[in-house]
Structures are given as C-alpha cells and as structure tokens.
C-alpha cells in the first residue's frame, strides 16, 4: 500500500472526440483549417475499398487537400508492419496524419507519426519496458485525426499503440500521452460496414475494457508511489471518473452488443456500440486493463494456423477482442473475491439477477454471465477451439510475464501457477 | 432544425484533472517539471489567509519556485477587477499561472493570462458578442493550473471566464477553449474550509449546471448550422456524453449536497461535491447551460444592497450559485413540456417518487423538488428576499436579452413576456 498521502491521486487526461452520423464528410474542411499541405492517410486493404475511406477521400478532394495514401496496414500489426509504415511516414515528410480504420490502422498510424517525428530513435526506444526501453518522447508529434471504423479498441481516445513482437511471440506496445490523437472523429455510419464477426470481436474488446477498468486495482492502492507526479503512470487504477465511463459503457454493451452483431443494419445498436467504444476507451485509458488483456498478448502472439472467421485477411490471426474475451470467465472468477460488489454489479448490468447472490459467489456468477453471452454470440469454445492445447500453456504464461505494465493492475496478486490455472480454465468454455 | 446531416455532431473537448486529498502539496514539483521560473499566483484576500494558499506557498518554497502573489481578486469579479489583474499580469511577465480559489479567482486568472499573452488587444476584443467582439484568440497562452477551493463552478474544466460588466448591470464573459486550464488540481481537503453558505451557493451552481446541461436543447436540434466545423460553438447542446456527466453529478448532489452544507467536517460529502463540480463542469462546458444562467447574469449585475450571508466580503453581491438557483423552479416548470422525461428523471434522481406522475406534471414536480431542497437549506425566499421588486423586472429582462449565447440553448423558445413571467414567478418561492 501507498504511504504518501499525496499519491492518493489520479489524473484524467481526456480526449477530443467529435461524434455524429456523417461527420467525416467535414474532414477536408478540418484539414484545411489546420493548414495541412501534405496529409498521410493510413488504412488497410479491406477498408480502402469501402465507404469510410471513400468519404474521406471525397472530402479531401473537394477541399483541395494534398495527400498520400498508405493502405498496407497489417490487421493485427507486428513490429515488421509498424516499421514499414514508419518508413513510409519518414519518406513522406507529412504535416498531418489521418487514420481510417480499426485499432490496427490507428495504432500503426500513431507509431508512424511518432518515429517520423523522432527520426534518430531506434525502434525499441519507445516500446514499453521491460521489452523496450520506455524512453520519454521529447519531440512534438504532428496532429493525427483518428477515424475509427470498428466499435472496439477506443484507440482514438488513448495514447497506446499495440503490435505483435514476432520474435517474442507476444504483443506489446508503446504507451505515452503524446500518442493520443488530436481528434477522434467518430462517425457511426462507418460501423454499418463491419462484418458480423468484426462487430462481435471488437465489441468484446469494449466489454473487457469496461470490465477490466471497473475491477482494476483502485488508484489509491497501487504501488510503488511515484516520487514525482511526472512519473505517474498512464494506467492509474480504477477511480471515480473511470468508473463512470466503465459503468456507462457496460450498460450500452448489455443493451446493444447482441443486436449490433446480429443485424448490420441496426443503426441504433451499431451507433450505440460505437459510442460505447469511446466511453470504454476513455475509462481504460485512465484506469488501465489487467489480466484479460495481459494474457491476450501471448494468445495473439503464439497463433499457429487459426483463421479468423469472417475476416478478409490472408494470415493466421486471433483477433484482439477474441483473444481478450476467451479468458474473461476464468479471470473474473479469479479476481472476484477482491471486490465482489463490483463483480456482482457488472453481472447485474449485463442482465443477471443478482438479488439473492452471496458475495462469495460473485466470481462464478459473473463468469456464467459472460459464458452465456459468448455462447449466444457463437464464440469459439475456448483456447482449444482456436488451436491451443495444454502443451502451449507454458509459452502462454511466459508471454504474459513481461506484460506487468497491465497485469499489475489486477486487483488480485498472482503467481505463475495462477496464470497457468487461468489458461487451463480457458481451454473450454461451454 | 438543422438541415446539413453533417452537422448533427458534437465535440467533447475534455479537461485534464488531477484529483486527490493532499494533491496540491505536489504543485511545486509540477511547476519545477514545467520549468517555471516566474509564477503568478492569484487568489483572494480571504483565501490568502487560509490553508489552500498556505499549502501551495509551502510547496513552491520547498521546490525553490519563484513567484509573485496577487491577492486582490474581487469576489464576483467585474470588468474593473479583471483589468486590475490583467495589469498585474502584464507587468509581471509570468511564465506560468496558478489560481487558488473559487470561480472568481480562476476566472480572473484566465483573463489575466489571456490579455497578458495578447498585450495589443482591447478589453472588449475577446468578450462574447454581442456585448464584446468575440474575436478569435491567436496567441498561445501560458500554462495555467487551477486549484478550485469551492465545490461549484467547475471553472477548472471550462474555457469560460465570467465577469460583471458594471455599465451594463449584467454579467457576461469570455468563452474560448484557449482559456481552459492546463490542469485542474482538485484537492478535496481545501473544501473543508468553505463556510456553510459558500458550500450551499456553490453547490447550487453544480445543481444548475447539471440540470441545465441535461435539459439543454439537444445537439442535433440547434441552429443555425455552422458552415465550417471551426465555427461549432463551445456550447453545443445536450448530447450523450454530457448526459453521462450531468446525470452522475446530479446523483452526487442528491446524496451529498445537504450533508456538505450542514457539516463542514463531513469529508465524504465535501469531497464528493468537489468531484461533482468537476463532472458538472465537464458536462456543461460541452453542452451549455440555459435560462437559469442567462437570467442570473442581470440578477447578479443589478444587485443593490444585498449582503451575502456568510461571505467575508465588503461589497454587495448576489453570489453566483444563489443568483442561478432562485429562478430554477420557475425555469424548469417552463421548460418541462419540451422534454418531460428528462425533467421527471431529474426529479427522481433528486429524490422524488415519480412513478405515478404524468408527463404533463413533470415541470411542477421538478419545481416542487427544487423548492423543497432550497427550503431545507434555508435559502432566501426568492428574488424579493435579495432586494428585488416587480419594478425591477424590466431591467432584469433587459439584462437577459444579450445572454443569447446561453439562453438559446433553452429547450423551449421564449419571448420577453416569457422572461417577464419567469422573473415574476421567482419573486417568492415558498
Ligand atoms: N490502442 C489501443 O488503445 C488499443 C486497444 C485495444 C486494442 N488495440 C489493438 O487494435 C487492434 C484491433 O483493432 P480492431 O479490433 O479495431 O480491428 P482491426 O483494425 O484489426 O480490423 C479488423 C478487420 O475488420 C476490418 N474492418 C474494420 N472496420 C471495418 C468496417 N467499418 N467495415 C468493414 N471492415 C472493417 C479490417 O479491415 C480488418 O480486416 C489490435 O492490434 C489490438 O491489439 C489497441
Ligand atoms: N468559468 C466558469 O465556467 C464559471 C462557471 C460558473 C460560475 N462562474 C463564476 O464564478 C464565480 C463564483 O465562484 P464561486 O462560486 O466558486 O465562489 P467565489 O470564488 O466567488 O468565492 C466565494 C467566497 O468564498 C470564499 N472561499 C472560496 N473557497 C473557500 C474555501 N475553501 N474556504 C474558505 N473560503 C472560501 C472566497 O474567498 C469568497 O469570499 C462567479 O463570478 C461566477 O459567475 C464561472
Ligand atoms: Fe483491447
Ligand atoms: Fe454557474
């Protein structure tokens, strides 16, 4: 526990968001207002054929904004794919960046902007310690407008960029407020194009951002205390402000996730989930996530042959939201005894009657609630169904160890044995 | 109604907040981190004798930060008092500003920073049109750390600075995102020193920020549509994000306002109200306020001899929160038929059983709820009790007309006759 009273504090660094159906039609005007002369537009090869990119290009043309397009973003980016985008950015000498896509595109664009603004830096310089060097960012980055097309990562609100570090077989990232987009332009019309499985998986990401930030170690219990406020980490633990965002995002997920997955034309449901992804993003961007995310990084990084259903992608991947949600029943069964009221409240918001449930059963009840949502949405039956066996558990545990930046926000301390048990319990869900 | 689809948008420009008991002890370190060499510390003559200022001074001394102190802020500032602070700022060539106080201090400090950064500007240049010229702010301001000591204005989160324009006998202000403090350092320990009436009046401000932003014209109904996103006003109407803040602030007010007023030692209640003032500030800073605030400006500006109970102040004033809340029963009775569900929800959050209430009665019920809260907290019985008579109504109406920036956010359109009736209905409350 923290001893310095003055460290019982948290900071909310919030994000500029513009939300509205059709709002991206204005983007050319915004870029003009900013005096942009040479814009870098990043996207991926699926989106480059679809209206979200088309609308942006039309607006740029209409307002005479010069741009170059980079459409080679890898879905679930890697260090290699980040570096390719960085090279493009360095050569282009851009003055504004626009990212149109899901978390993969937005994160890649953040990294490209960062390293193009710091041309002397080595790639590992800004990557989170202990994998990278976690150096401070000193240059000022170019403005970045993020136009999210999934209802998922909340990357338009956060200072985080995640990639799969291939040598390590685990994801890691760069986390720094300087990466936060200048503006998140949230146009719910874009989400109408999402395939059903993308809506499901990115929706699970929202669900876990909300659940993990809501149950994260409270801000006034984390340690060690930074000796100077400048060292306060971005992920500060749950706090009264992130709680507001997390609860609200959960309520929307409870009401709309299933509808959004089942009917791409359900504008109300898809729009609402888009807003929920923003809310959950602001929440976890301040409070942090914990075990589901920490354990998801090796689940994604060790992928063997799993092909993501419904994704238009050539390489094997475990989509981020899926890699996160598969361990969620086991994780919340494990963490519940540290703050059973919050676990019960979450189960209740997600639709379970908890009026006669004892605190000791909070974990089981939230886990059951999650399993039933996953079952209804036809999610793969556990890690086994995406190609893992018991033999893989040691590698999965090994890949979780360096994720301390997030796992230390778990409300319950855990050993390697605990992680082993959590992966084992996530092999089959139903 | 707005015709351009692309204008059905709202923007959330959020604020950096650090919250924690004792957090201001760190401020010297923050200033050191920022490289501050010549700090302007603004406060008022009551606070300069009290711990909130003492703690800051100790921290500055401890960390060797040079500063000059300005303690002549006027409680309920005027154009004249703003100008005196501006002169001080211009002469000091400061590199960072710190405001320790209520809205009066924070607003004065914002104005001082603005005009010292724009030495060529005339005072009216940045004042809201139609009273001033509402010119854009082009210089970049110095960093400003706001340390709020009331649980009220939320000025630490907003880009607004309000003053009483004495010639006009009405308040007006400067509203621009550039005025938003760099950091709001919210230390609930400071609120323990507030006299009971300051706690009550600043708490009413929170109540009205929440109620007005919750019932403001929705963002997708306001007009005219700005033809360029750069012209989107700061006050955009109620929207799904400001609603989250407003509802949450209301819940805290319902639970804690009375306790906070009655017992200065109730740390939980006073801390909670401090956080509620931040929440309501972020909410109204994006959505806007409407009639209670618009009508409060002439109520404050026409003050004759009213002495604020419990305030350590030499001149006649109607404290802001009081000037706002006295018309609230009449205002919400007037606006209710435009969005009765929201008025009923507000009454319910404030503790009234609305289960058998018809929509047509929403206004009456919310008005009764408010009257009963005011009665319990021993608030003056209407405008009459603070020195106004029927003869003053024409001047009060006249002073409301130029407040269109806020009054146009009223969900219900209104004529001068309506304003006359609202002032008349606010003469006596009980
Ligand atoms: N930065 C953060 O804060 C943060 C948080 C969580 C996750 N992430 C990262 O984000 C990535 C996942 O992002 P994601 O879940 O948004 O998905 P994604 O960007 O990987 O996209 C998934 C697939 O959906 C397609 N797609 C996206 N939007 C579409 C649309 N509107 N219509 C049709 N197809 C569309 C893409 O082309 C892609 O094939 C992962 O790398 C994850 O680690 C980052
Ligand atoms: N900028 C904005 O967004 C915004 C919003 C609402 C109101 N306002 C403005 O703010 C002003 C009102 O501010 P306020 O309500 O915060 O009060 P205030 O700053 O006028 O202070 C009221 C009195 O309380 C005293 N005081 C303040 N904190 C104290 C403490 N902790 N202990 C002891 N005494 C304390 C002050 O010295 C003063 O005498 C008005 O001018 C109003 O128009 C601004
Ligand atoms: Fe995630
Ligand atoms: Fe106010």
Q: Which ligand is nearest to the CA of B292?
A: 4
Whether pLDDT at B173 is above 70: yes
B189 touches A at CB < 8 Å: no
Mean pLDDT of A235-240: 91
Q: Give the contacts of A355 (CB within 8 A, at least 6 positions apart).
A: none
Q: What's the pLDDT band for A8 if we cut at 50, 70, 90?
A: low
Is the entire prediction scored with pTM above 0.90?
yes
- Contact: A22, B16; criterion CB under 8 Å: no
Whether pLDDT at A417 is above 60: yes
Residue to mutate (ligand 2; options B13, B45, B46, B175; most atoms within 8 A of CB): B46
Specify the residue for token string 């957090």.
B23
Looking at residue B313, its pLDDT comes to 92
Q: Provide residues with CB under 6 Å of ligand 2.
A: B 44, 46-47, 50, 52, 75-77, 101-105, 107, 149-150, 152-155, 158, 160-162, 171, 190-191, 193-195, 198, 202, 205, 311-313, 320-321
Maximum distance among all Cα pairs of chain A, rounded to whole angstroms: 63
Task: Please tell me the CATH code under which domain A16-191 is placed.
Answer: 3.40.50.1970
Mean pLDDT of B234-259: 94
Which residues, by Cβ under 5 Å, contact ligand 3, an ion?
A: A 205
For B255-271, b/e burial (b = at least 16 CB within 10 A) is: bbbbebbeebebeebbb
Distances B149 to A198, B44, B250 between C-alpha atoms, Å = 47, 11, 20
The partner residue sitting opposite B244, judged by closest CB among A7, A15, A248, is A248
Q: Which own/partner contact pairs does A249-252 have at CB distance under 8 Å and 24+ positions apart?
A: A249/A206, A249/A209, A249/A210, A249/A276, A249/A277, A249/A279, A249/A280, A249/A283, A250/A207, A250/A210, A250/A211, A250/A214, A250/A346, A250/A349, A250/A350, A251/A349, A252/A276, A252/A279
Nearest CA of chain A to the CA of B18: how many Å? 4
Distances B227 to A158, B231, B233, B290, B304 between C-alpha atoms, Å = 30, 7, 12, 24, 43
Looking at residue B3, its pLDDT comes to 40
Answer whether A343's CB lies under 8 Å from A336's CB.
yes
Q: Tens digits of per-residue pLDDT, A63-96? A: 999 999 999 999 999 999 999 999 999 999 999 9
Q: Tens digits of per-residue pLDDT, A281-340? A: 999 999 999 999 999 999 999 999 999 999 999 899 999 999 999 999 999 999 999 999
Distance CA B181, CA B191 (A): 20
Whether pLDDT at A362 is above 90: yes
B9: closest chain A residue by CA: A20
Mean pLDDT of B205-217: 98
Q: Tens digits of per-residue pLDDT, B272-320? A: 999 999 999 999 999 999 999 999 999 999 999 999 999 999 899 999 9
Give the pair of three-digit tokens for residue A361: 């059963």
Give the pair of three-digit tokens for residue B241: 């994000």
Residue to mutate (ligand 2; options B50, B55, B75, B209; most atoms within 8 A of CB): B75
B392 touches A at CB < 8 Å: no
Q: What's the pLDDT band for A226 if we cut at 50, 70, 90?
A: confident
Distance CA B237, CA B216 (A): 6
Query: Which is the closest atom of ligand 1 to the Cα of A44?
Result: 37
Q: Say how many CA atoms lie within 13 Å of B418 toward its Cβ.
A: 15
Q: Tens digits of per-residue pLDDT, B92-102? A: 999 999 999 99
Q: Quick one: what percent of chain A has pLDDT higher than 90?
A: 89
Q: Which ligand is nearest to the CA of B297?
A: 2
Q: Which residue's C-alpha comes closest to atom 29 of ligand 1?
A: A194
Distance B169 CA to ligand 2 centre (A): 19
Average of per-residue pLDDT values in chain A: 94
Whether pLDDT at A4 is above 50: no
CB contacts < 8 A (A, B): 114
Looking at residue A6, its pLDDT comes to 40
Looking at residue B300, its pLDDT comes to 96
Residue to mutate (ligand 1; options A102, A109, A160; most atoms within 8 A of CB): A102
CA B326, distance to chain mean position in Å, is 15
Q: Tens digits of per-residue pLDDT, A106-115? A: 999 999 999 9
Q: Which ligand is nearest to the CA of A157?
A: 1
Burial of B389 (0-12, 13-18, 19+ CB in 10 A): exposed
Residues of B in contact with A241 (CB under 8 A): 17, 19, 275, 279
Looking at the DSSP bridge assignments, the partners of residue B155 are: none
Q: Residue B35: phi, psi to the nearest 5?
A: 75, 25
Whether pLDDT at B71 is above 70: yes
Whether pLDDT at B232 is above 60: yes
Element (H, E) at B114: helix B103-117
Looking at residue B6, its pLDDT comes to 40
Domain boundaries, chain B: 16-191, 194-425
Mean pLDDT of A118-142: 94
Query: Which is the closest atom of ligand 1 to the Cα of A300?
Result: 43
B140 touches A at CB < 8 Å: no
Looking at residue B8, its pLDDT comes to 67
Mean pLDDT of B32-44: 97
Q: Tens digits of per-residue pLDDT, B72-116? A: 999 999 999 999 999 999 999 999 999 999 999 999 999 999 999
Looking at residue A178, its pLDDT comes to 92
- Contact: B22, A8; criterion CB under 8 Å: yes
The partner residue sitting opposite B228, judged by closest CB among A9, A29, A241, is A29
Domain A194-425 indexed as CATH 3.30.70.1450: no
Answer whether A288's CB lies under 8 Å from A245's CB.
no
């Amino acid at each position: 526990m923290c001893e310095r009273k003055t460290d019982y504090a948290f900071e909310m660094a919030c994000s500029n968001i513009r939300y509205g159906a059709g709002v991206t039609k204005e983007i050319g005007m915004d870029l003009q207002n900013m005096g942009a002369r040479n814009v870098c537009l990043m996207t991926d090869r699926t989106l480059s054929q679809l209206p979200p990119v088309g609308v942006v290009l039309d607006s740029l043309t209409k307002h005479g904004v010069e741009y170059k397009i980079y459409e080679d973003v890898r879905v679930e980016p890697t260090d290699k794919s980040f570096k390719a985008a960085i090279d493009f950015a360095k050569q282009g000498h851009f003055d504004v960046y626009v990212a149109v896509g899901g978390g993969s595109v937005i994160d890649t664009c953040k990294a490209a902007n960062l390293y193009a603004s710091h041309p002397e830096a080595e790639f590992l310089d800004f990557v989170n310690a202990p994998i990278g060097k976690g150096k401070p960012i000193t240059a000022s980055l170019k403005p970045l407008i993020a136009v999210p097309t999934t209802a998922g990562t909340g990357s338009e609100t956060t200072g985080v960029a995640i990639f799969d570090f291939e040598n390590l077989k685990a994801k890691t990232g760069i986390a720094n407020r300087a990466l936060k987009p200048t503006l998140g332009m949230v146009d719910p019309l874009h989400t109408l194009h999402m395939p059903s499985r993308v809506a499901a998986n990115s929706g699970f990401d929202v669900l876990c951002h909300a659940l993990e930030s809501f149950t994260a170690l409270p801000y006034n219990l984390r340690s060690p205390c930074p000796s100077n406020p400048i060292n306060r980490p971005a992920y500060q633990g749950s706090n009264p402000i992130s709680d507001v965002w997390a609860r609200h995002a959960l309520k929307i997920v409870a009401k709309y996730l299933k509808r959004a997955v089942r009917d791409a034309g359900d504008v109300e449901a898809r729009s609402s989930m888009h807003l929920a992804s923003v809310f959950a993003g602001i929440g976890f961007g301040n409070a942090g996530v914990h075990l589901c995310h920490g354990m998801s990084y090796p689940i994604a990084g060790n992928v063997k042959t799993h092909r993501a259903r419904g994704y238009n992608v050539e390489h094997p991947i475990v989509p981020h939201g899926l890699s996160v949600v598969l361990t969620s029943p086991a994780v919340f069964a494990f963490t519940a005894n540290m703050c059973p009221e919050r676990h019960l409240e979450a189960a209740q918001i997600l639709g379970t009657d908890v009026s006669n449930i004892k605190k000791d059963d909070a974990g089981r009840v939230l886990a059951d609630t999650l399993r039933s949502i996953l079952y209804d949405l036809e999610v793969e039956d556990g890690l086994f169904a995406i190609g893992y066996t018991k033999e893989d558990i040691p590698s999965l545990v090994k890949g979780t160890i360096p994720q301390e930046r997030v796992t230390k926000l778990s409300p319950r301390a855990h050993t390697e044995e605990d992680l082993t048990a959590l992966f084992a319990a996530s092999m089959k869900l139903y």
